[in-house]
Structure 1
Amino acid sequence: MSTMKESANKQLFELAARQMGISESFVEKDWHVTQALKAISNVRQKNFQLVFSGGTALSKAHKLIQRFSEDIDFIIVAPDETQSRKARSKLKHDVFNALSEAGFTIDENQVVAKNENRFFSIELEYHTIFERPHSLRPHIQIEMTVKSLQLPPVERCVSSFVNELKKTEPEVAEIYCMDPVENAADKLSAIVWRIFDQTQRGEIDRSLVRHFYDLALLKEAALNHSNFKKLVACNMEQDKDRPAASDHFSKLAISDRFNFLLNTLEKDDTYQKEYDLFIKGFSYAKTGMIPNYQTAVDAIKAMVPFVVT
């Protein structure tokens, strides 16, 4: 449980929530997410570079999407691919120590490490003042993955909703972030293999619809980037070897993988229902600025010819 050294005023949470038209519990969690980001951004190791990625980077750092994101995703760039398991373990513990020093409590039972510390995740609990709705997880999900980047990262700053309200300096003055176009390529590739995998198993991951929303807002940037096709192809090549990907999937041509995706999105109305629920619960964009489900699907359709031709 978090016992933060720094604390935000309850009234500030309430004021920010009123101004944004969202629940106080979302503002509260955003504040804790930002404090965790601040702690991680101070971790320095000469052999690794931590690059902020995912939807939270798109919303908090790039300001390209207006939806609440509960996860903190980082790519660990290791210039020397032969970095030892011991070195990766040290990085993991440096991250844990930084979070502990910031006032978070690390429960070892909530830590997962795989592939010799090339991936690790933490379910980080945090102290709450406000009643938490069922749509919010009771923890901050932090995931870190060793992976190479195709585009140079960009530096951005990150502020909590509270600091933006107060017009004070951002909690995170600078942090390396994945280029939004590479983020879009990563998301597009992810929904292709994950929806295929889940359909084969008769399951649906409701969290996937957040990628639809993000891709709708990233479409123009992605399609105007000369290397978008190459970025997607690189991600899809890596994804075909994921443990969850079946042999059948890995043997499919890229065009067939996308055809399966688009047919599923058109025919399975479960995704539209989940998308509508997601937008209602997590988007804080103004009315008229939120892409509906068909707009999101059309954005994905528009990207396909750029990738498969």
Structure 2
Amino acid sequence: MAGAVRLSEHPDFAAFLTAAAADSGLPETFVEKDYWITEILRTIAATLGERAIFKGGTSLSKGWSLLDRFSEDIDLFVDPAAEPPLGSKRAIDRTMKELNGDVSAIDGLEFVRAESRTTGGRGRIDTFRYHSHFPPLEGFPATVRLEPGIQSGKQPTARVKISSIVGDLLSARGAADELDIEGIEPFEMDLLHFRRTFVEKLFAINGKVERLEKEGVSLGRDVRHYADLHVLAGRAEVIGMLESDEYEAIRLDYDEKSRTYFPNSYRPPPDLRFTSSNALFPPDELRARIEPGYEEECQRLFFRPHPGFGEVLERFAALRDLL
């Protein structure tokens, strides 16, 4: 072949994905989506640099290797204080629109405007479609959602290497040079540390359950926070954070940013403590409303056994005095 090509443009791309799926024991559809998630992250790291911090559930599975579940979206903190500072909503919105343009320019991705929206200087939800080489799995469209926003913080973070499942296989076999493929090498990116992700997910599920109780709004996809919190609550680093001053520092920082940018939708617990949160310690009637959706979502997302809802609540109970 004349000149290096991107992996997705190689005539054997589908065969490479199939080989990586067989090697990893994961469905081809997931390995394919993982490739496109990786390419979007690669572009973000190259264009936004230290302004971009990869966060959320996908960062836990892809960056920290903590979750045994499929990833569907990219949650991104766009730091407005990074140099040069973004001093206005207009500047923040412009940066996120430029990011949309950079991702839209990736060969093989198509921006789906009808499934995207902006929150005007605070964040975006952008959907990108790719051509899939495999029959679809129910509930897993050939799309990636990119959700950049400013409701987070820069500390604590860590520099982590990111790579794709299929890229790792080809690199391990020494095929990248032999096949003249470019852009499959690992790259580094700032990730929100999972200690802070734990705290942010506490706030998130608390607010979602409060809406469920008061307004009847379904938890929908957000019920997955429970499974993620269960994993994180078992980590020594998270327990150490809960026992230290860092826990209060993260809560106060998150509270300040949420009150500044999202005063109408922010629903914190009393005194920023979760010891009495119905989301974590639900009465029987509320648990009966949440548990079926939790099981349904976990059956869809997890590729290995997932914790039962009772196990999740037991882990919360063990940490109650620290929360």
Question: Is TM > 0.5 for Structure 1 vs Structure 2?
Answer: yes
- For 2:58, the equivalent position in structure 1 comes to 56
CA distance in 1, matches of 2:220, 2:277: 21
Say if 2:52 and 2:78, in contact at 8 Å, map to a contact too. yes
Q: How does 1:173-212 map to 2 (within 5 A)?
A: 173-212=187-226
* CA shift in 2, pair 1:198/1:74, >3 Å: same
**Per-residue CA distance 1:196-246 (angstroms, 9 max, x = gap):** 11222223223123211111111132111121244235435655764335x
Q: 1:260 aligns with which of 264, 273, 278?
A: 278
Say if 2:67 and 2:231, in contact at 8 Å, map to a contact too. yes
Task: Give the partner amino acid of 1:211.
Answer: H
* CA shift in 2, pair 1:171/1:59, >3 Å: farther
* CA shift in 2, pair 1:250/1:69, >3 Å: closer
Say if 2:123 and 2:149, in contact at 8 Å, map to a contact too. yes
Task: Give the partner amino acid of 2:48.
Answer: R
Per-residue deviation, 1:73: 0.8
* CA shift in 2, pair 1:257/1:199, >3 Å: farther
Report SS of the residue matched to 1:203. Answer: coil
Structure 1 stretches of 5 or more lacking a match?
A: none
**Per-residue CA distance 1:85-144 (angstroms, 9 max, x = gap):** 4432331233123213322222444432223x2211201111111121222144211111
Say if 2:251 and 2:272, in contact at 8 Å, map to a contact too. no
Say if 1:187 and 1:211, in contact at 8 Å, map to a contact too. yes
Task: Give the partner amino acid of 2:298.
Answer: I
Q: How does 1:161-240 map to 2 (within 5 A)?
A: 161-168=165-172, 171-219=185-233, 220=235, 221-225=237-241, 226=244, 227-236=246-255
Q: What percentage of aligned pairs have identical amino acids?
A: 21
Task: Give the partner amino acid of 1:179.
Answer: H
* CA shift in 2, pair 1:84/1:280, >3 Å: same
* CA shift in 2, pair 1:55/1:143, >3 Å: same
TM-score, length basis structure 1: 0.83
Q: 2:111 aligns with which of 101, 106, 131?
A: 106
* CA shift in 2, pair 1:30/1:270, >3 Å: farther
Structure 1 vs Structure 2 CA RMSD: 2.9
